[in-house]
């Protein structure tokens, strides 16, 4: 069977076109070297279907396949789905400790310990004032000492109030952040971060599905969807369920109750309906940490309770030692509402520092001896130590989670990231291949030139 003289031209052309696609892909990779979430792509080449030469076409009488060049089979993105899973797991952890340490550090700052402005110092000055009253000689001294006791008492109550308010604010802010992140979309409201990510994933699902069903693989759309999943994984533990039509179903997974899930995206629809009633869930991640910090009975609530206990102990023990009402516990959380009793505040001279005559100071002495007592100073120190170790733990865990997340991200970049050196060497390689294909075409052209223009011209 004769083979066309132009057969080789076609083969070279295929080569030229394929090298062009390779160069295009390299250009795309270089252009996206800094794009977040981009995974490098490669053009998969395959030898094009060979020309079949029937039996007897070659010497020896057998048939044969004559190579016809190259074709681009697919444009693939290089990505390891398992590393994605690991990354999201670590990212959930990082989001958790990150939110936790931020909240705890704020609570810790509110304490202003150790230092000259914390409750510890105010307590110390308060006990000093009582001891001075116990020492006071003469009516002028006593008048001044009683005034000082009332002022220090009021300052101490203020210090408790300020610290409690600040921790309360951290708690309220944490809950507000949580509620804002998890807010579902409603009419006229795009919803919180989770709802917006859910909407974007659902939109991408819809587009991707249309390409996948026609056999097309929209690499860059898949990258964007994976990146959205990465973002979502910071907020809570997610499970991703891939469907045959290319869409994915995404849901939050309860970290406390196995098997309980909260759907975020199903196919092309965003189905995020917000947290369950009463926030009765443990999603992990940033949402879980913020909820854990701010919920009733949560970490910050525990701090407030501890502070209230110290305040109650202070009120009780001072009043008991004095045998009359100096502090009024107030109605509500003790640390926020206790204060020097109104009668004493209005008339500091009504304080009776002793049970006997004008010079007896046994009651004032008894109050001053409460200094460094276990229920007040001791309990407060234990509280500060607890806040300190919780914060330290959270900060250390955050650093750990950061290191682990970075390590996984490094592995992912190692697989999917664009290496400019590699792209440069590919560029050289593909350019040479292109040049060689062009040279092959020129050679065929010269051959045909000889055949067409010179053959048969004899003796001219």
Which residues contact another protein (rule: CB under 8 A)? Answer: 33-34, 104-105, 108-109, 111, 113-114, 120-121, 123-125, 127-128, 131-132, 134-135, 137-141, 354, 356-362, 365, 368-369, 371-372, 377, 381-382, 384-389, 391-392, 395, 406, 409-411, 413-415, 417-422, 424-425, 428
Task: Report yes or no: 362 and 55 within 8 Å, Cβ to Cβ.
Answer: no
Least distance (Å) between residue 231 CB and another protein: 18
- Using CB atoms within 10 A of its CB, is residue 71 exposed (0-12), middle (13-18) or buried (19+)? middle
Nearer Cβ to another protein (85/448): 85
> Are the CB atoms for 290 and 177 separated by under 8 Å?
yes
Alpha-carbon distances of 398 from 83, 238, 394, 401, rounded to whole Å: 21, 20, 6, 5
Beta bridge partners of 44: 74
236-261 b/e (C-beta count within 10 Å ≥ 16 → b): bbbebeeeeebbbbbbbbbbeeeeeb
153: three-class secondary structure by DSSP: helix
Which tokens hold the place of 107? 């609570």
Q: Which of 114, 103, 98 is nearest to 384 (CA)?
A: 114
Question: Quick one: 127 or 160, whose CB is closer to another protein?
Answer: 127
For another protein, give the closer residue by CB, 14 or 146: 146
Query: Smallest distance from the beta carbon of 396 to another protein, in angstroms?
Result: 9
- The residue (of 32 and 239) whose beta carbon lies closer to another protein is 32
Shortest distance, CB of residue 336 to another protein, whole angstroms?
22
In angstroms, the CA 342 to CA 153 distance is 12
Number of neighbouring beta carbons within 10 Å of residue 373? 15
Nearest Cα to 71, choosing from 23, 13, 29? Answer: 13
The pair of structure tokens assigned to 341 is 């009793």
**Nearer CB in complex with another protein: 132/200:** 132
Closer residue to another protein, CB minimum distance, 87 or 281: 87
- Residue 339 pairs in a beta bridge with 328
| Closer by beta carbon to another protein, 294 or else 391 | 391
Contact 81, 342 (CB under 8 A): no
CB of 443 to another protein, least distance (A): 26
Please state the closest distance from residue 163 (CB atom) to another protein, in A. 13
Of 209 and 371, CB closest to another protein: 371
- Phi, psi (rounded to 5 degrees) for 50: -75, 160
Which is closer to another protein, CB of 89 or CB of 354? Answer: 354
The three-class DSSP label of residue 199 is: helix
Q: Are 428 and 436 in contact (CB under 8 A)?
A: no
Cβ closer to another protein: 135 or 186?
Answer: 135
Is the separation of the CB atoms in 39 and 416 below 8 Å? yes
Smallest distance, another protein to C-beta of residue 400, A: 13
Instruction: Compare residues 218 and 354 and give the one whose CB is closer to another protein.
Output: 354
For 186, list phi and psi in degrees, rounded to 5.
-145, 180
| DSSP-derived 3-state class of residue 36 | coil
* Tally of CB atoms within 10 A around 190: 11
Evaluated on CA atoms 85, 86, 92, 98, the torsion sign reads negative
Q: List CB contacts of 399: < 8 A, sequence separation 6 or more.
A: none
């Amino acid at each position: 069977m004769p083979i066309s003289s132009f057969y080789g031209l076609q083969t070279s052309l295929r080569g030229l076109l394929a090298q062009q696609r390779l160069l295009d892909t390299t250009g795309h990779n270089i252009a996206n070297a800094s794009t977040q979430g981009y995974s490098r792509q490669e053009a998969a080449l395959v030898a094009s279907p060979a020309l079949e030469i029937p039996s007897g076409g070659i010497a020896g009488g057998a048939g044969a396949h004559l190579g016809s060049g190259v074709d681009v089979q697919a444009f693939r993105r290089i990505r390891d789905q398992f590393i994605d899973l690991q990354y999201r797991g670590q990212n959930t952890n990082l989001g958790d400790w990150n939110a936790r340490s931020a909240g705890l550090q704020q609570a810790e700052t509110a304490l202003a310990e150790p230092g000259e402005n914390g409750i510890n110092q105010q307590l110390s000055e308060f006990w000093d004032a009582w001891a001075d009253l116990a020492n006071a000689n003469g009516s002028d001294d006593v008048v001044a000492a009683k005034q000082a006791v009332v002022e220090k008492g009021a300052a101490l109550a203020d210090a408790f109030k300020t610290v409690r308010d600040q921790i309360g604010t951290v708690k309220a802010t944490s809950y507000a952040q949580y509620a804002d992140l998890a807010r579902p979309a409603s009419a006229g409201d795009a919803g919180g971060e989770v709802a917006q990510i859910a909407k974007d994933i659902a939109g991408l699902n819809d587009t991707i599905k249309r390409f996948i069903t026609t056999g097309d693989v929209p690499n860059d759309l898949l990258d964007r969807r994976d990146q959205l999943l990465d973002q979502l994984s910071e907020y809570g533990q997610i499970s991703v369920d891939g469907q045959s039509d290319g869409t994915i179903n995404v849901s939050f997974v309860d970290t406390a109750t196995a098997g309980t899930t909260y759907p975020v995206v199903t196919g092309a629809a965003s189905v995020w309906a917000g947290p369950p009633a009463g926030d009765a869930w443990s999603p992990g991640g940033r949402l879980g940490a913020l909820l854990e910090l701010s919920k009733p009975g949560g970490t910050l609530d525990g701090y407030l309770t501890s502070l209230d206990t110290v305040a109650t102990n202070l009120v009780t023990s001072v009043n008991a030692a004095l045998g009359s009402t100096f502090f009024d516990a107030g109605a509500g959380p003790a640390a926020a509402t206790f204060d020097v009793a109104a009668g004493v505040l209005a008339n500091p001279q009504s304080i009776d520092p002793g049970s006997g005559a004008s010079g007896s100071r046994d009651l004032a002495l008894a109050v001053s001896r409460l200094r460094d007592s276990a229920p007040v100073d001791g309990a407060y120190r234990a509280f500060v130590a607890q806040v300190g170790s919780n914060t330290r733990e959270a900060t250390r865990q955050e650093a750990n989670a950061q290191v682990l997340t970075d390590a996984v991200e490094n592995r992912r970049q190692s697989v999917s990231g664009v290496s400019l050196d590699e792209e440069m060497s590919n560029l050289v390689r593909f350019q040479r291949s292109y040049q060689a294909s062009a040279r092959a075409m020129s050679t065929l052209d010269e051959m045909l030139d000889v055949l067409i223009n010179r053959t048969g011209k004899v003796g001219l």
